[in-house]
Chains A and B, each alone.
Chain A
């Protein structure tokens, strides 16, 4: 089927060249090609890396091109978004422009046709009947079940039946659904939020870091990571990543859930996804003062803990998991009024240090792995709009693909002085299927009238 294009002067649009371009399928096809080609660029140049990497990889002149055209973040660049917007505008314009055409096509009554026209239909056959009465009204109903339109036409009676006329609107369902998907994406881009959280076991957060701006985003509640698990197959491939999360609101536990890669947690419009993990050493440091007081401190790298009784703080500046066959930490000591100092400790080996008149003995007594879970945080109020669009798209496909406008005319009367039956039909799509349908009808009529070929 070919739908008439906008070049038909339906409402005098041809006088407005700008509108004419906007409504043209030529523009739609050009946009398909442009979007396809530009999308290829984005798959060839890695996206979202830091700028200096592009300078290293592509050289200074190519780097200028990349920077100016924003090829490093192409799908978010103004010109790519503009292309998508133009695509949406083109779709809206085409929809508006073709509305009267489709509407006409839908309203147009084609039931009444001259006998000569019937014979020129894509599908037709003529049968000479033994007598005009040998094909009764009931016979007609067997071929074309009621309701059937009928007219007196040229010494005979014309019967007409059609189906699937509404399918002309199918393409509207399809195109509108694409606009709905784009609208959903826009809603997500404006009111949505994407962020990340790195959360160590046993810790709480109330903020996420926005992915692009790096700014803090308040969650409105507290998220606590009770435990993180990682499990491997015998082959070494990862089997499961799991975070046991608890949500606290004003200090009270309100929700508890274990999340995995395909099982996120949703709360108050925010969804938390398991996306990565990190393991960091937790160093246990034991200090004994000269008067026999003992303190056990556990801390990760680049954190500081105070031993208040002694008025002393300890921090781990650096950790080496394997030096001379053992683990070692560079430990900072200070906050007691004396100049801070840094000492290397090998795990298990006790060392002495002096702060003023106090002498301390200290050693690393334990090092364990402490996990941090990497969570993706998302808020996307547009996602349901996108799904609605997707559902509409599938419905539209169904209609466009399977529902055809089928028309059948049956004329019984006298032609050239002989009782004659003419069956004619046309369809706007799925022609081969219709041909079979038409042939079956022909066979049925031949059997009914007893007329063999």
Chain B
């Protein structure tokens, strides 16, 4: 029972939720050991999820379909969650600060909860339709989601920054990274996400050119990814050239992530186009 991908993956939802709660407790009650437990839980969740994804890959071969688990809404949500945790763990390791976990693990847990429990999202393994049969599938999805996940975390940092700007010197908020550090981190995470979003758009263009003969066709998904690209381009230019810092960038980070969410879900649910295989059925 334990060794089926869907069991492992739905288990992950709760592990990440638990990790989020642990990070929150560590933050609110200042118990370092609980924070360590949070990291431990996140690590375990990440391992379980990795195993789940790999197992799903194997299961698709057993069913005779044989493709990477990156082909529909369910699989993309799982991957988004996985990628977010990966980026977060990297940041935690680099910064030695667990407070960002309070604002990152919930995104991963929410994505998993939505994937596992929404009646709109079907978790059965489906065969690949001809349009998706390409080596570009993995490159395109991985790069796009590296971008999305970075933006999710940058959005979390934006929220932290805005909370911090209340300027309490004591209490909860003093345990957040300093505003100066948060500002720089947010900027770097946005730039990192921007880089990967660009790579994602480029790999998508190369793929589209191979499958349909046009590298750009103003399909809603493409257009919305470009809109998202513009929002983050504004944030980067405003900072590089006009010297915008802090609050304004934090707001842009949040607006940018709303645009990411719309690119990801809104387009699938509300608009139709070439990316309709990502849509709920």
Contact = CB atoms under 8 A, between A and B. Distances in A.
A376 B212 contact: yes
Contact of A386 (B215, B218, B220): B215
Interface string B31-58: 0000000000000000000000000000
Q: Is the interface on chain B under 10, 10 to 19, 20 to 34, or 35 or more residues?
A: 35 or more
B213 A5 contact: no
Interface in A362-384: 376-378, 383
B28 interface: no
Interface residues of A, number: 51
A82 interface: no
A432 B184 contact: yes
A263 to B, nearest CB: 8
A36 B231 contact: yes
A238 interface: yes
Secondary structure at the B interface, as helix, strand, loop or mixed, is: helix
Nearest to B211: A262
- In the complex, the 10 A-B pairs of residues with the closest C-beta atoms, listed nearest first: A261-B130, A378-B213, A262-B134, A36-B230, A43-B220, A2-B243, A75-B218, A25-B241, A273-B213, A233-B127
Given A3-B240, A5-B241, A238-B129, 12 more contacts: A2-B243, A25-B237, A36-B226, A36-B230, A39-B223, A40-B223, A43-B271, A171-B240, A238-B130, A262-B136, A378-B213, A430-B188
B8 interface: no
Contacts of A42: 218, 223
A374 to B, nearest CB: 12
A42 B271 CA distance: 11
B279 to A, nearest CB: 14
A237 B241 contact: no
A1 B240 contact: yes
A32 interface: yes
Interface in A68-95: 75
A100 to B, nearest CB: 16
Nearest to B180: A431
B242 to A, nearest CB: 6
Interface stretch (B76-84, B102-110, B152-160, B202-210): B202-210
A80 to B, nearest CB: 10
Nearest to A232: B127
Nearest to A25: B241
Interface of B: 65, 126-127, 129-131, 133-134, 136, 181, 184-185, 188, 191-192, 194-195, 198-199, 202, 205-207, 209-216, 218, 220, 223-224, 226-227, 230-231, 233-234, 237-238, 240-243, 267, 271
B127 A35 contact: no
Nearest to B131: A261
Interface in A206-255: 233, 235, 237-241
B212 A239 contact: no
B202 A237 contact: no
A199 B128 CA distance: 26
B234 A29 contact: yes
B130 A241 contact: yes
Given A2-B243, A75-B218, A235 B126 contact: yes
Interface of A: 1-3, 5, 25, 28-29, 32-33, 35-36, 39-40, 42-44, 47, 75, 171, 185, 194, 233, 235, 237-241, 260-262, 264, 271, 273-275, 376-378, 383, 386-387, 390, 393-394, 397, 400-401, 430-432
A194 B218 contact: no
Contacts of B202: 390, 393-394
Contacts of B207: 262
A2 B213 contact: no
B195 A32 contact: no
A373 to B, nearest CB: 13
A431 B184 CA distance: 8
B240 to A, nearest CB: 6
B130 to A, nearest CB: 4
Nearest to B238: A29
Contacts of A3: 240-241
Contact of B234 (A32, A171, A235, A393): A32
Contact of A237 (B127, B136, B218): B127
A397 to B, nearest CB: 5
Contacts of A237: 126-127, 129
Contact of B218 (A33, A47, A274, A430): A47
Contacts of A432: 181, 184-185
B130 A239 contact: yes
Contacts of B223: 39-40, 42-43
A209 B266 CA distance: 35
Nearest to B65: A233
Nearest to B241: A25
Contacts of B129: 237-238
Contacts of A5: 241-242
B214 A194 contact: yes
Contacts of A264: 210, 213
B237 A29 contact: yes
B183 to A, nearest CB: 10
Contacts of B241: 2-3, 5, 25
Contacts of A378: 213-214
B227 A39 contact: yes
Contacts of B65: 233
A39 B216 CA distance: 14
B195 A397 contact: yes
A271 B211 CA distance: 11
Nearest to A195: B213
Given A1-B240, A43-B223, A394-B199, A387 B126 contact: no
A261 B137 CA distance: 13
A296 to B, nearest CB: 36
A378 to B, nearest CB: 4
Contacts of A260: 130, 133
Nearest to A261: B130
10 contacts: A25-B237, A29-B238, A39-B223, A43-B271, A233-B65, A262-B131, A262-B136, A264-B210, A383-B209, A400-B191
Nearest to B196: A397
Contact of B227 (A36, A390, A394, A400): A36
